[in-house]
Structure 1
Amino acid sequence: MHLPLNHRLRPQWRFLAGLCGAYLLVFGIVGAVRSAGEPFFSRADTDALGLKTNPAFAWLSIIVGAVVLGGAFIGRNVDHWINMIGGAVFLLAGLFMLLLMQTPANKLNFEVATTVVSFIIGTILLIAGMYGKVGTPAEAIAEEVLRHSTRPGDKFAVKPHANK
């Protein structure tokens, strides 16, 4: 698998991942305040920033938002791994909660809008993780050479020709 090192758009993707972390943190805080006093896995109509929530989902959002935001501030390859893993988790969570939405197993009070937001955040974090890998300048040059090199026997390889 090829992940670019020191990609030129890395700061922009890191910023977007930080915005996702900040959104999760604010959503969690607003959700915790609005759902205070409810049962932990309540299925009530409490909403925060337009999405249904309960105390369990609110506190989970606070924790995950703080981790993602912290990774964006730390940088280096810490954010790369947090974003890669977090993006995959958000995509899988959105898929599973979409599957479990109309069942009693919907403990986080998800609805269709919540799964859409989960898919969007998961996609942003996954892409930010893919473009967030950092290496030394020498490693980046070696990676670029490897990426543009051809293998022997490759029928689409450009063959050098001798000047006549």
Structure 2
Amino acid sequence: MAHFPVNHPARPFYRALSGLIGLYILIFGVYGTVVTWGGGLFGRGHDWVLGLRTNLAFALVSVVFGAVLLIGATRRSNLGHYMNLTAGVVFLVTAILMMAVLQTPANFLNFSMSTVIVSMLFGLVLLATGLYDKVGPPDHAHAERGDRRAPVSRTGR
């Protein structure tokens, strides 16, 4: 079973970080939708928004994904914890898959290498925030911190 720190002291920082990523993605999506509105849904044009190449489909997905990340960052429950873990994995897998088809007609989201790099970076940051923003009762967090600081017993000596 995986071990996640409970009520980590830097949890507000991690939530703010995931919220900023969600806000960037939402702004990117809204602005990308405005810029690419007249083109095809899966167009392969040269539309760049906030330093990333996009098309209408990618912009619309970004609007939804950014809103979901913002909702997760504003919740004080474990919803944000699970959403950040899931979003981190989704970003990393999407970046790897899109990098594999970057120079082919299968690049239906119109990714560029800069988009792949930003997606990987966001995935790693969201995964890290998901690891440290788990919420639990104070007594559980206190016991978990005590277990972490306890010396390892040496048997056989």
TM over 0.5, shorter chain: yes
17-26 or 87-96, larger mean C-alpha shift: 87-96
1:30 matches 2:15: no
Deviation at 1:123, TM superposition (A): 1.1
1:56 matches 2:57: yes
Deviation at 1:143, TM superposition (A): 1.4
Deviation at 1:77, TM superposition (A): 0.6
Deviation at 1:153, TM superposition (A): 4.9
Q: Which amino acid aligns with 2:69?
A: V
Deviation at 1:150, TM superposition (A): 5.4
Structure 2 residue matching 1:22: 3-state secondary structure: helix
| Deviations 1:26-70, CA, capped at 9 Å, x for gaps | 000010000011110000001111111001000000000000001
Which residue of structure 2 aligns with residue 12 of structure 1? 13
Which whole-Å CA distance do the structure 2 matches of 1:98 and 1:154 have between them? 50
Which residue of structure 2 aligns with residue 143 of structure 1? 144
In the TM superposition, structure 1's runs of 4+ consecutive aligned residues that sit over 2 Å from their partners are 145-155
Q: Give structure 1 stretches of 5+ with no counterpart.
A: 160-164
Structure 1 residue matching 2:103: 3-state secondary structure: coil
Q: Which amino acid aligns with 1:125?
A: L
When the two chains are superposed, the root-mean-square deviation of aligned CA atoms in Å is 1.5
Matches within 5 A, 1:89-128: 89-128=90-129
Which residue of structure 1 aligns with residue 70 of structure 2? 69
Deviation at 1:103, TM superposition (A): 1.1
| Deviations 1:55-103, CA, capped at 9 Å, x for gaps | 1000000000000001111232111010000011101111111111011
Structure 2 residue matching 1:23: 3-state secondary structure: helix
Which whole-Å CA distance do the structure 1 matches of 2:34 and 2:140 have between them? 47
Which whole-Å CA distance do the structure 2 matches of 1:119 and 1:107 have between them? 18
* Identity rate, percent: 43
Which whole-Å CA distance do the structure 1 matches of 2:24 and 2:40 have between them? 24
Aligned pair count reads 156
Select the structure of larger CA radius of gyration: 1
